[in-house]
Amino acid sequence: MTLQYFTAEGLKKLQDELNQLKTVERPSISRQIAEARDKGDLSENAEYDAAKDAQGLLELKISKLEEVVSNARVLDESKVDISRALVLSKVKIRNKANNSEMTYLLVAENEADLKTGKISVTSPIGKGLLGKKVGEVAEIVVPSGKLEFVIIDITR
């Protein structure tokens, strides 16, 4: 797996989720398996089968999260180069077609949340903004066609 970059807040959120899965969810499923096992014949015990399936899915999720966390690196926001749009840049753009302005924070895919203005650098708009400087035009192909955005400002 490749390195993934996160804000300190984003990495903490992942670590908290991993801790929740290990300390709350895992023991809960173990109890469900034990209770189902106590009910007798396992060959026709749907509760046991469902609990074992849930355990397998949980362990897979834990394994994947452990891998992400172990390969995670925290970006130092104070060292973000604001001469061009990069991860952790706050980019203010204007749509050339309708002059609407919006501001996005470019983040790693796991931290994207459009409601809070955080877009992934792997999204079409995020990819289109990466590397651009103030004054440049980003041409971004989206399902509805091509959009052109002027980079108005880049901050941390």
Tell me the HSE value of 48 on the side-chain side, using a 13 A CA sphere: 12
Burial call 28-43: b when 16+ CB within 10 Å, e when fewer: ebeebbeebeeeeeee
Chunked in runs of 10, what are the mean pLDDT values of the chain (156 residues)? 73 91 94 84 79 92 90 72 82 94 89 90 90 92 89 90
CATH number belonging to domain 4-74: 1.10.287.180
* Model pLDDT, residue 3: 66
* Model pLDDT, residue 5: 74
Phi, psi dihedrals of residue 5, rounded to the nearest 5°: -105, 140
Does the predicted TM-score (pTM) go above 0.85?
Answer: no
Q: How far is CA 149 from the centre of its chain?
A: 24
Domain boundaries, the chain: 4-74, 78-155
Distance, CA of 150 to CA of 110 (rounded, Å): 26
* Model pLDDT, residue 81: 65
Question: Yes or no: is domain 78-155 CATH 3.10.50.30?
Answer: yes
* Model pLDDT, residue 56: 93
